[in-house]
Structure 1
Amino acid sequence: MVAPPDPFAVANALGLVAFGAAGALKGAEADLDPFGVVVLGLLTAFGGGALRDVLVGRTPASLLTTGDVTFAFVGVAVAVVLSLSGVAGRDHPALALADSVGLAAFAATGALVGVDAGVSPFGVVLLATLTGVGGGSLSDLLLTRVPVVLREDFYATPALAGGVALLAVRAANVAPPAPTATCVGVTLALRLAAIRYDWSLPSL
C-alpha cells in the first residue's frame, strides 16, 4: 500500500515554487539583472520559512536539503519564462496568483511546524502568519518598498485565519491531510477574494 504524501512536504513544495516565482517576477518588474531576479526569488521562497524555523529553535529546512532549493529554482524558472513572454508586473494576475498560493501554502507549513513544536495556539497562528508574509516582506525591503503586509490590510489576515482554521479542524480530530488542506483553502480563498473585491479592514 502506498503511503499518503506528507502534508507538510506537499505544502512546503507548493509554497517554494509559488514564492520563488512571485519573488522573481517582482525582480523582473523592478528591472533587476538575472542574478538579482534569482536572488529575489530565492529570498522570497526561503525568508518566511527561515524565520519560522529560527523561532522554534531549529536549523532552517532550506539549509538541510537540496530539495527545497530545487523547488525554489523551479519557481524562478517559471517566472523567467513568464517574464520573457511579457508577463512582468506587480498587478498582473500571474504574480497575484503566485503570491496568494505561496501565502496559503506557507501559512500551512508555519502552523504545522508550530503544532509539531508544541507551542500554544497563539504561537501556531503567529507562526502561520509570519511564515506566510515573511519572505515577501524581505523581498519588498530589498527593493526599498514598503512591505505589502503593511500596504494591504487584507494580506496577513488570510494567513491568520488559515492558522485558526487548521487548529479548529485538528480540535475536531479530523485526520490529516484535512487540517492542512483546510488551512491552505481558507487562506487562499480569503486572499483571492480580497484581491477580487478590494477588501480592507476598517481604519481606527
Structure 2
Amino acid sequence: MLTERYFGTYARFETISKREAAPLLGADNLVGDEFSIDFQIEDGTSIAWLKNRFGAVIGRLDSTLSRQLKILDARGWRLQAYLSFVAFTDEPKPGHYWGEVAIICYEPQYEHTFSLFSTQAASKLAAGVRPDITLGEQGVDQVISSEGSWFPKQRVPFPAQSEGTVIIKSHRGLTEKLIEQSRKGNKGCYVASWVFLLLLIALLIFGLKACGVF
C-alpha cells in the first residue's frame, strides 16, 4: 500500500534462466537477505532488477511495479527488497525458478525509524513468517511514533501452489543460520558450521557402510 511516507508489498520476481537462478539455492541468497533494486531500460521501459549483497543479478520485477518504484526512486525514497521465498515451476518445460520479495520503501527523513522496522521484517522472513507490511496510514503512524519498535501482528500467507510448483526455500535452516553468523564475523559459529557439516558427512558415510554400500 502506498501512502505519502511509505510503501510496502510482496512482489513476484522472475529469473532469467535456470542457470542464472542456480545461486538462489545457495548460501549467497538466504531468506530474509536484503536485495538492492537497480533500474535498466528495456524496450523503452524502465525495469527493476534485484541484486544480492554480492552484486549478482537475481531476477526482475514486472513492468507495472517497476514503474511505481522508479517514481519513488526519483523522489529520493529509500527502496529495499527482502527475499521471502524461492519456488520452482516445471511448466512450461524445462521449468523456471521464481520467488517473491518483500518491498519496503519510505521517505529518507524516516531512515532511522523504518530501517529498524525493516530489520524486524527481515528477521520474520528468515523465520518463515510473512508479516503484513502494507501498513496503511494508521500503521505508518504507529511505526513512526514508536521509532520503529512497533510491528504488525497480521500475517500474509504463502501463495497457493499450482500443479507442478514447489516452494524450495521459505526460511533459514540451522546451517544457514550458522553461515549468516559466520558472515558477521562470529568465529565460533563459523567453526560450528564446519563441525556440523563434517558430522553430517560422517553420519552419511556410516550409514552407507551399515547398508553395505562399501
- The TM-score range, normalised by the shorter chain, is under 0.3
Instruction: Judging by fraction of residues, say which structure has more helix.
Output: 1
TM-score, normalising length: structure 2: 0.25
Which has the greater radius of gyration?
Answer: 2
From the two aligned structures, give the one with the greater strand fraction.
Answer: 2
Q: TM-score with structure 1 length normalisation?
A: 0.26
